[in-house]
Structure 1
């Protein structure tokens, strides 16, 4: 029986790569191309990557942990919840960085999507604040969905790509970020991952230094500070809406309209509660919390599983992504 490659050399480090992007950008599809069935694919605008998922693979001679992150502007979770989870993963990796080396981040963008909107710009600013300028050379913007285009659509898609490069991603490209096309194939996904893990030195992101080295509250980090005004605005708006609706309810005599007002109050209360929860999360010192939970001893295999257990996220193990030996593969969820 051939040896399990991922367990053969337990003292070596593992490289980590994050896959990020808005809902519907094709993150799970990209990861699935490394090994079918590794994560859940989404065919709608509803996000299927509800939490971070880690796919552990061997690419060439390199052990790689590929983290499929939920996107900002998610359909089911607030941006604060998404940022908190990504912050916990990154804090854990930084604490275990002697054996878990962060190599870079892929940021996916659907090329069939139109011009960058306000929510897209906000997400990009969040991303830039999270990684920090020093990490820009380790960022790869990956345009996706090229396989869905007809010959007639290609000219428009190339124009969109030029606009992204020349306008929205220009600053990061000047500072070393790259752009790649994902052609929808396994070989294309493998090639993109292979490029990013070839860097000589592990990287440290801005939010990692803020959370671990400085033990800042999430709200005080550059990424978290972007969310604070939005959370406060949602809290104020929902609170005012509840007050207005309750005043209307006190004056309303029609039963049908009373029920409609009660439903409106319930919806506003849910929005208020979510805003309160987000405000509380932003006050957390995520780095200090993870320091209490993460044990720095053990092999990189043990440490990777520790992250999954602590954060309650899925782990899939693959052993035949590139240069397979004897077709060895296993899957653990």
Structure 2
């Protein structure tokens, strides 16, 4: 199940560990998704926003699940990790949970841890947090810390993982405690798991992976151990028969039945792993066959395309040659037409030039005639004007002489009048007694 969140930087973190270690509780408490159920049987992821990033916690089933075999769990994990690897979504970290309340690490936990190590690979261990849980149930803190030291000091347990780069952490059951772990994983460089590289890149089947080999080897060991146990119990049962100890015989028979059931379960899981390998190989063969068919089909299509391309090339070459021939003919016609147009234009221009010369000569002749006529007319006009000016001058001179004569006559008359007046005045003056006036040509004098 994938939850929808706003886009942002995704930090992908897987939560792993044995069944009952608190994986689902961790995911539910830290992510806030209350729908997370305890004891998940399949890989489920839950996303939430934290510190500007999209945190995706991946809840995984444990390898010692009572309802599913380790082979089925590994197949589930392989399917999910392969899908995310193809999507280029790498894990930024793995939080591996272990109950601190466990007095000792049983065989299933050791097997789980060994498979986990093979699943991760060395490079991814740098991003692994080996995290103890359920510290609130530890009554003696010193005892819990001693168990933690035992886990870290034992190479068969966590010691070897810590040596290869894993980090020891604690989860105290709160969201704040879980977010502190996540805050440490956010800046880490995402790493591909060995199982992802082996399944997707190297094209291995599950049994061919390191984790698959680990499970297969454990199943072989279980078969051997259960057979030996059954044989030993059979000897004990036979001894009880010989001793006629019916009660012991029944107890041994019950133990034999349990061992036989475990043997059959291990054998069935081993067969299932082999069947998965065979199925993968069959799918691979089918895919290979399909790929070969696709390759052949692609070759046929490529050959058909090549032949089509060659035919198209020939057609285009022929078309091009035909176009070139037509173009050459068009060019020749165009050049011929251009030459004819050029000759016609030259003739037209020559005729036009001759016409222009004739027209120019006619214009010049007309201009000369017009100039001569204008000069003659101007000469006549000037002569007439000169004669008119002479006549006007003569008339003006005549008028001036007449005016001067009239003015002289008027002046004479005026002087004569003055003279007469003066004579009259002089006469009157003599009569009165002695004042005489002499009138000259231009004035008069008074004598006493």
Give the alignment's TM-score, normalised by structure 1.
0.68
* Alpha-carbon distance in 2 for matches of 1:71, 1:179: 20
Query: Which residue of the partner structure matches residue 95 of structure 1?
Result: 86
Secondary structure, in 3 states, of the residue corresponding to 1:170? Answer: helix
Take 1:128 and 1:102, find their aligned partners in 2: how far apart are those partners? 15
Q: RCO greater where, 1 or 2, for CA within 8 Å and sep 6 or more?
A: 1
CA displacement at 1:193 relative to structure 2: 1.6
Could you tell me how far 1:69 is from its partner in structure 2?
0.3
1:141-160 equivalent positions in 2, closer than 5 A:
141-150=130-139, 153-160=140-147
Alignment of 1:36-47 (within 5 A): 37-41=34-38
> How much has 1:117 moved relative to structure 2?
2.4
- The answer to whether the aligner puts 1:51 opposite 2:38 as a matched pair is no
CA shift at 1:185, angstroms?
Answer: 0.7
Are the equivalent residues in 2 in contact too, given 1:31–1:38 (CA < 8 A)?
A: no
**C-alpha RMSD over aligned residues:** 3.2
Aligned to 1:64: 55
The offset of 1:279, in angstroms, is: 2.6
Q: What secondary structure, in the 3-state scheme, does the structure 2 residue paired with 1:163 have?
A: helix
CA deviation map 1:160-201 (0-9, x unaligned): 1011122232222223211111111111111112211221x2
User: C-alpha deviations, 1:54-83, integer Å up to 9, x for none?
Assistant: 111112111122110001111111111111
Q: What is the CA-CA distance between 1:214 and the residue it aligns to?
A: 0.4
Asked if the contact 1:144/1:182 (under 8 Å) is kept, the reply is yes
- Is 2:16–2:23's contact at 8 Å kept on the other side of the alignment? yes
Aligned match of 1:20 in 3, 13, 16? 16
Does the 8 A contact of 2:71 with 2:272 survive in 1? no
The alpha-carbon distance between structure 1 residues 111 and 283, as it changes in their structure 2 partners (threshold 3 A), is farther
1:284 shift after superposition? 5.2
C-alpha distance in 2 between matches for 1:70 and 1:62: 26
Aligned residues: 256
Identify unmatched segments of 5+ residues in structure 1. 42-47, 242-256, 293-333
Tell me how far apart the structure 1 counterparts of residues 134 and 85 of structure 2 sit (CA, whole Å). 33
Check whether the contact 1:17–1:64 (CA below 8 A) recurs between aligned residues: yes
Deviation at 1:282, TM superposition (A): 4.3
Tell me the residue number matched to 2:204.
Answer: 216
Contact 2:71 2:269 in 1 (8 A): no
The counterpart of 2:195, out of the listed 200, 207, 220, is 207
Q: Could you say which structure has the higher helix fraction?
A: 2
State the secondary structure of the residue aligned to 1:147: helix
